[in-house]
A = this chain, B = another copy of it.
Amino acid sequence: MAVNARRGRPLSAEEIHLAALRIIDAEGVERLSMRKLAAELDVNPMSLYHHVPSKTALLQHVCSMNAKSLLPPPNEGAPWQRQLREIADTYRRIAREHPSLWSYAQLHPELTHREEGLWEAFNDCLRAAGVPKERFAQIRIALFGMVAGYLSAEAAGLLAANDDQVDTEAAFQTAVDLLITGLDGYR
């Protein structure tokens, strides 16, 4: 049995995805290469292709795994302002866990498989805020685009680069406050 010469234990897709995420967090998506990944795993570069069909498929998997964490805790009873904050905070937590992946995934939406339930949290929120149903789709896009987009800008360092002394947490809360006050206008 031709077990890997250098490691002695078999390779697995799981292990490959985790190592990829480690490189992405440490060096950025752009610096992830199949050859570097193999080196990280102490494995022949070509061995990876027995567990993962391609680099694109690997990135798809990592992006989609990450997107699964976006579902916020169910929260139907709470006031809608609280619900929206919860969504925004969940997004921010995920964005900051893997900032390079977050920005990259926004640039390559085709890589991420998004769960059906992702929009439900927004819908619950808009319902509770008294937004007319025929406006749901557009407002959901507006909110999602601004929250996800803001976090992508923050993750990439675009916001810190522009103003020197920034409390990034407070700036994000300011952004969410603007959205909440704005949404309140639909009541």
Contacts and interface: CB of A to CB of B under 8 A. Distances in A.
B161 A141 contact: no
A154 B163 contact: no
Of A104, A157, A177, A181, most buried by chain B (CB within 10 Å of CB) is A181
Given A178-B179, A179-B178, A141 B159 contact: yes
How large, as a class, is the contact surface on chain A? 35 or more
From DSSP, what is the main secondary structure of chain A's interface residues? helix
A108 B156 contact: yes
A107 interface: yes
A156 B109 contact: yes
Nearest to A177: B182
B104 A174 contact: no
B114 A162 contact: yes
Interface in A110-164: 110, 114, 119, 135, 137-154, 156-159, 161-163
Contacts of A57: none
Given A108-B156, A114-B162, A138-B174, A146 B146 contact: yes
A141 B163 contact: yes
Contact of A149 (B137, B143, B151, B184): B151
A171 interface: yes
